[in-house]
Amino acid sequence: MEMLIAGKWIDKEEKIEVRNPYDNSFIDTVPSGNAEDVAAAVKAAAEGCAVNRDLPVHRRMSILRKAADIVEENAEDFARTISTEGSKTIRESRKEVARAVQTMLISAEEARRIVGETIPFDSMPGSENRVGYYFRFPIGIIAAITPFNDPLNLVAHKVGPAIAGGNTVVLKPATVTPLSAIKLGKALMDAGLPDGVLNIVTGYGAKIGDALVSNKRIRMISFTGGVEAGEKIVKRAGLKKIGMELGSNTPVIVCDDCDLDKAVELSVSGAFWAVGQNCIGVQRIYIEKEIYKRFETLFVARTRQMKIGPQLEEDTDIGPMITEGEAKRIERWVNDATKKGAKILTGGKRRGSIYEPTVLADVPSGCKLDKEEVFAPTVNLYPVKDLDEAIKRANDVDYGLHAGIFTSDIGKAFKAIREIEVGGIIINDSSDYRIDMMPFGGVKNSGLGREGIKFALQEMTEPRVVCFNL
């Protein structure tokens, strides 16, 4: 496939191969972009700024709605693309496509709600003869940098509101999963998006990242990815607005008064969705000690039922990790934890890029599985004395994106809501529950700012004051 600059689909001699992480089979190539391609894309985006700014809101809305229709009409093709270039099973990918359609439709709806207010200038003595208001205007060029794990919907979460708000975009998708993003770009162009409003540069972040994020014409960086890349980008960005959707090592608390079967079922799903490569996937489960053994037995039994296989087979529950290197990394982390005393209750073996769904107990505090983001199909079970201990340990990390709690006690739920340091808390469901219109983002190392269309639109537009001296 090709990259998109100034409305033209461009190929290059130097290419990057896109391969299926299950069996390394070849899928397609994309151009290997360089700093000149970034500069050309920024130039095109600069020329597109006035075009999208001046596009009536109803036109932006109809383009976004039409693109959503195109994605929906080709849903199975999009799902198969996600499942061949990435890790997700076909059932998971179908859900991602359905959500991406929603993300585009919500972007269209929110475009009509970008509103301002009148300002009571006469509240200040001496300003009695003044009237005015503020409205929100587009911020300009947005650099959108996206990760591999939701290669379609997380792109829609940046491109949808950016277009709705009248901005232009230079998109750099993850190098291992660029095809879903390019297909979304094609849907938008087929829907009538003017040239230059969306530009897509494919290429390695390590090679073109600096040229993109340090470009002075770019007014905002909207980044989703890991903390390491996020910190590098912040250091290079200079004076521009920054949105950071980063990682986490999400806690879930299971209280002794909860519906245990439901807690087990939903936590297993939350731990192993997308092979655990999910920023709000369940990583640390704190279980009140009265029910710990029962929970552990049921959780391990349910995990053992998960079927590993190729992503496109309908009954596969767990596909490959995104690369063999990532599977080797988690193998090292698990070996390190077991050397320090952790016990593997099930799983723990690697075959190429496949890592078995793995449940651990006695994970010592301070090792990587306990403190860092695993982004892999492993989950730690911890018995705790009571809710106070669970909350204290849930908070004792550098991340804070989502948390979950299972309880039938409303008092316990409200205590957790008040005291857990996160951007979202889910009661009686796994931490990985999300819909696309809610504010989404984290505290601590989990990020800066919020996505969720209405909230992204606040970040992607700015208020301009208008004052008449009568």
Does the protein bind ligand NAP through residue 233 (CB under 6 A)?
Answer: yes
User: Which one of the spans 6-14, 113-121, 180-188, 218-226 is the region binding ligand NAP (CB under 6 A)?
Assistant: 218-226
- Contact predicate 351/317, CB 8 Å: no
d(CA 120, CA 363): 59
Point out the residue whose Cβ comes nearest to ligand NAP: 209
d(CA 393, CA 465): 46
Q: Which is nearer to ligand NAP, 3 or 63 (CB)?
A: 3
Active site residues: 245, 279
Among the listed residues 108, 152, 169, 229, the single contact to ligand NAP using CB under 6 A = 229
- Site size toward ligand NAP, by CB under 6 A: 29
Q: Which is nearer to ligand NAP, 345 or 369 (CB)?
A: 369
User: Which one of the spans 50-58, 227-235, 359-367, 461-469 is the region binding ligand NAP (CB under 6 A)?
Assistant: 227-235
Does the protein bind ligand NAP through residue 204 (CB under 6 A)?
Answer: yes
Phi and psi angles of residue 85, each rounded to the nearest 5 degrees, phi first: -85, -20
Q: Which is nearer to ligand NAP, 106 or 229 (CB)?
A: 229
For residue 374, how many C-alpha atoms fall within 13 Å in the half-sphere facing its CB?
34
Does the protein bind ligand NAP through residue 181 (CB under 6 A)?
Answer: no
Q: Which is nearer to ligand NAP, 142 or 191 (CB)?
A: 142
Alpha helices of 291-440 — where are they, by DSSP H? 292-304, 324-339, 368-371, 387-395, 410-419
Does the protein bind ligand NAP through residue 299 (CB under 6 A)?
Answer: no
d(CA 71, CA 464): 35
Minimum CB–partner distance for residue 322 and ligand NAP (Å): 7
d(CA 368, CA 46): 43
- Contact predicate 453/437, CB 8 Å: yes
Can you say whether residue 352 is alpha, beta or left, with left for phi > 0 and alpha for psi between -120 and 50 degrees? left
- Contact predicate 282/430, CB 8 Å: yes
Q: What residues from 374 to 403 belong to the interface with ligand NAP (CB under 6 A)?
A: 375, 401
Minimum CB–partner distance for residue 202 and ligand NAP (Å): 9
* Residue 467, token pair as written in the block: 């004052």
Among the listed residues 44, 79, 145, 457, the single contact to ligand NAP using CB under 6 A = 145
- Contact predicate 78/183, CB 8 Å: yes
User: Which one of the spans 43-51, 112-120, 221-229, 378-386 is the region binding ligand NAP (CB under 6 A)?
Assistant: 221-229
Minimum CB–partner distance for residue 321 and ligand NAP (Å): 11
Alpha helices of 131-288 — where are they, by DSSP H? 153-164, 179-190, 205-213, 227-237, 260-272
User: Which one of the spans 26-34, 129-137, 198-206, 298-306 is the region binding ligand NAP (CB under 6 A)?
Assistant: 198-206
Q: What residues from 243 to 282 belong to the interface with ligand NAP (CB under 6 A)?
A: 245-247, 279
d(CA 206, CA 208): 6
Does the protein bind ligand NAP through residue 142 (CB under 6 A)?
Answer: no
Does the protein bind ligand NAP through residue 447 (CB under 6 A)?
Answer: yes
Does the protein bind ligand NAP through residue 424 (CB under 6 A)?
Answer: no
**Residue of 353, 318, 431 whose CA lies nearest to 89:** 318
Minimum CB–partner distance for residue 349 and ligand NAP (Å): 23
Q: What residues from 102 to 141 belong to the interface with ligand NAP (CB under 6 A)?
A: none
Does the protein bind ligand NAP through residue 38 (CB under 6 A)?
Answer: no
Sequential DSSP letters for 42-74: HHHHHHHHHHHHHS-HHHHHHHHHHHHHHHHHT
Among the listed residues 87, 149, 267, 316, the single contact to ligand NAP using CB under 6 A = 149
- Contact letters for ligand NAP, residues 305-344 (x by CB under 6 A): ----------------------------------------
Q: What residues from 356 to 375 belong to the interface with ligand NAP (CB under 6 A)?
A: 373, 375
- Looking at the DSSP bridge assignments, the partners of residue 458 are none
CA distance readout (Å), 256 to 240, 264, 291, 394, 408: 48, 13, 6, 17, 9
d(CA 326, CA 16): 19
Residues 6+ apart with CB under 8 A from 356: 308, 318, 346, 347, 348, 349, 350, 377
Site residues for ligand NAP per CB under 6 A: 145-150, 154, 172, 174-175, 204-206, 209, 213, 224-226, 229, 232-233, 245-247, 279, 373, 375, 401, 447
